[in-house]
């Protein structure tokens, strides 16, 4: 029996509370409606999405009938070409992009909404009754705008080669003139005149006084050359190419068998080639240089590395003799802590190039690193464990290892409140107590937030 399809409909809604992901919650005929572009306390007109009947509806604001005192003009308009700012028709609303879920919210109030979401996630998922404060990013306590912090930016590319951002819950590309929320060096790049036909994504990374641009996909080589000519020398340029190795050739020629009905051969393996400059950037934290791949993981907010490493080190105190750093990346959190405490450091990370950089970054530190998925690693005896997992969190296998470890202290850095709540429930059941849990608005004007949780036993 097929699920009935529901048509789109216009609703008048009273917005009750914030929801994870940057939307807000309303109710219509007893059914939950997740509304984008709204604020708690508002009355709005919203249009629901057409689709199969479900336990909840999704809707987007079409008109604000009773605005919140915390509503401000949508900041996304500042990034659009003039031709798009008033819509394609005289009375039409402009097509806006995703990734700035709080673009219409006063910055300080957006932090209050994030704190409410974290507390709700902790309660519903982790069964933990705890209020949380979300602190502003450095420099944004009073007059900050929250719009110039990203040192890593990804842009989509449309069929004409124009650069932009994806529309919410869509693969449609909305052209932009400059990279939203970017630090000045990236924001200064004029995107309106760049064309990258055949590319699927363009990535920017900035560190100190230089940066890198990565072109993903089958971009026209002439367009890559034009990009190189358009950007100053402080920008390294990298582009994806098809790997010319036996494994790749084998897959392209179909010598490897198919499985599960998939097309024989499969896509060729791609690798990054340096067109100009270098593939490694140097980040500096508290006077120490860290090597990181241009395409590698690094904290996105310009002030996040120093803030988070400082919080982690402070939580450990000066007494640990041994530390374990899980999901260690290029080693930032563990190495800063080891330098401050003199402890032996053991780091685990599943990405091989990141571990190579971690070993280089560990000069002068008593440290060893292992390239392995964290869920497969056997943890050594440690006084304290640091972990900074991806949004998926640690999960059952890793939290079990943490509970069975010798560590008396865990410092858990998270960028997802839902998976954090799940993992904290497991750690609490295993004998750890939450000493502190703080939020930091290191993704201003987006739905994301960073947290640092200290647990002891």
Would you say 291 and 278 are in contact if contact means Cβ atoms under 8 Å apart? no
User: Nearest 5°: phi and psi at 217?
Assistant: 100, -170
Buried b (16+ CB within 10 A) or exposed e, 114-128: bbbbbbbbbeebbeb
CA triple 227-231-234, angle to 5 deg: 130
Edge-to-edge strand ranges of the sheet holding 173-175: 173-175, 163-166, 152-157, 199-207, 210-217, 235-242, 270-276
CA 314, distance to chain mean position in Å, is 25
The residue to which tokens 């999901």 are assigned: 327
Q: Give 257's contacts (C-beta < 8 A, 6+ positions apart).
A: 264
The residue count of the chain comes to 457
DSSP string, 29-81: TTEEEEEET--TT-EEEEEEPPEE--SEEEEEEEEEEE--TTB---GGGGGS-
Buried b (16+ CB within 10 A) or exposed e, 349-374: bebebbbebbbebbeebebebbbeeb
What span, in angstroms and rounded, lies between the C-alpha atoms of 44 and 11? 8
What span, in angstroms and rounded, lies between the C-alpha atoms of 110 and 184? 23
What span, in angstroms and rounded, lies between the C-alpha atoms of 140 and 143? 6
DSSP string, 401-418: HHHHSS-SEEEEEES-HH
User: Nearest 5°: phi and psi at 359?
Assistant: -65, -40
What span, in angstroms and rounded, lies between the C-alpha atoms of 409 and 86? 54
Catalytic residues: 415
Round the CA-based radius of gyration of the chain to a whole number and report it: 24
């Amino acid at each position: 029996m097929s699920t009935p399809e529901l048509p789109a409909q216009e609703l008048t809604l009273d917005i009750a509370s914030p929801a994870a992901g940057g939307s807000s919650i309303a109710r219509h005929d007893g059914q939950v409606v997740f509304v984008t572009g709204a604020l708690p306390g508002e009355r709005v007109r919203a249009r629901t999405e057409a689709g199969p009947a479900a336990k909840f509806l999704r809707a987007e604001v079409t008109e604000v009938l009773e605005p919140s005192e915390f509503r401000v003009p949508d900041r996304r308009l500042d990034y659009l070409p003039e031709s798009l700012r008033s819509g394609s028709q005289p009375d039409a609303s402009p097509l806006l992009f995703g990734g700035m879920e709080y673009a219409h919210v006063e910055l300080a109030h957006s932090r209050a909404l994030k704190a409410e979401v974290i507390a709700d996630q902790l309660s519903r998922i982790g069964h933990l009754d705890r209020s949380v404060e979300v602190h502003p990013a450095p420099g944004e306590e009073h007059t900050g705008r929250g719009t110039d912090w990203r040192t890593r930016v990804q842009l989509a590319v449309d069929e004409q080669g124009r650069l932009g951002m994806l529309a919410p819950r869509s693969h449609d590309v909305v052209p932009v003139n400059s990279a939203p929320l970017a630090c000045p060096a990236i924001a200064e790049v004029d995107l309106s005149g760049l064309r990258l036909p055949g590319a699927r994504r363009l990535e920017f990374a900035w560190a100190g006084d230089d940066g890198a641009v990565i072109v993903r996909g089958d971009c026209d080589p002439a367009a890559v050359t034009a990009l190189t000519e358009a950007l100053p020398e402080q920008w390294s340029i990298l582009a994806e190419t098809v790997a010319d190795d036996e494994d790749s050739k084998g897959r392209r020629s179909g010598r490897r068998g198919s499985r599960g009905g998939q097309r024989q051969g499969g896509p060729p393996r791609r690798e990054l080639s340096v067109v100009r400059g270098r593939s490694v950037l140097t980040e500096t934290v508290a006077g120490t240089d860290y090597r990181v791949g241009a395409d590698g993981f690094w904290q996105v907010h310009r002030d996040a590395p120093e803030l988070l490493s400082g919080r982690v080190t402070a939580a450990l105190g000066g007494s640990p003799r041994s530390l374990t750093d899980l999901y260690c990346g290029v080693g930032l959190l563990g190495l800063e802590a080891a330098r401050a405490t003199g402890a032996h450091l053991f780091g685990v990370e599943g990405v091989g190039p990141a571990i190579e950089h971690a070993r280089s970054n560990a000069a002068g530190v008593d440290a060893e690193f292992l390239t392995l998925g964290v869920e497969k690693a056997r943890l050594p005896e440690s006084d304290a464990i640091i972990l900074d997992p991806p949004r998926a969190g640690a999960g059952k296998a890793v939290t079990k290892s943490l509970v069975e470890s010798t560590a008396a202290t865990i410092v858990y850095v998270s960028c997802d409140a839902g998976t954090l709540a799940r993992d904290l429930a497991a750690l609490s059941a295993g004998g750890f107590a939450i000493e502190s849990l703080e939020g930091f608005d290191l993704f201003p004007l987006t739905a994301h937030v960073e947290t640092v949780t200290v647990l002891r036993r």
